[in-house]
Structure 1
Amino acid sequence: MSWWVIEVNGAEGTIYANEKYQLQVDLPENYPVEAPQVIFLHPAPLDPHIYSNGHICLDILYDSWSPAMNIGSVCISIISMLSSSTVKVCFLL
């Protein structure tokens, strides 16, 4: 399987509580050596780390990727990133 759609739920007690979002996960041919491409499908959360096109500014998806990581750890990192946000803001391209 080269791509997945994963649903993530906003954590209770955060500004994203009771909200559901979908992530598109594209696995490159040499995964896990190379990081997966992960983007939010529309509508993406209004978060300072997420661009209006759904792309996510998260270092483990780029320079800090390690083959020891997996899709589960990526999802946990994304939920953690959302959980740390205190305001809903959208960066424009």
Structure 2
Amino acid sequence: AAPIEITVSSSENSADSTKLDYTITSTGKNDQGQVIQIPADNTAINGNQTVKVLNTTGAQLPATGGMGTTMLYVIGGILLVGSAILLVTRKRMSH
């Protein structure tokens, strides 16, 4: 439910001054619920740093539909039935 802060920091490469070394850390919570900085894992994908995000349940998704769309369906159905009845009665009256 809360945003995850990811920090990318760089420093000059000791072997080649035209390149930069970088590290990635993310904000997370430990087992006691304290907010800590978690370093990225550079072994998961070779040559990349991977930030693991804990997938937890309980986040509320926005509700869709509800009474607003139900009312639109009901009104649309009533108009459709009314226009069909009107069409049939006009055809019968013209004959």
Higher relative contact order (CA 8 A, sep 6+): 1
Name the structure with the higher helix share: 2
TM, length-normalised to structure 2: 0.30
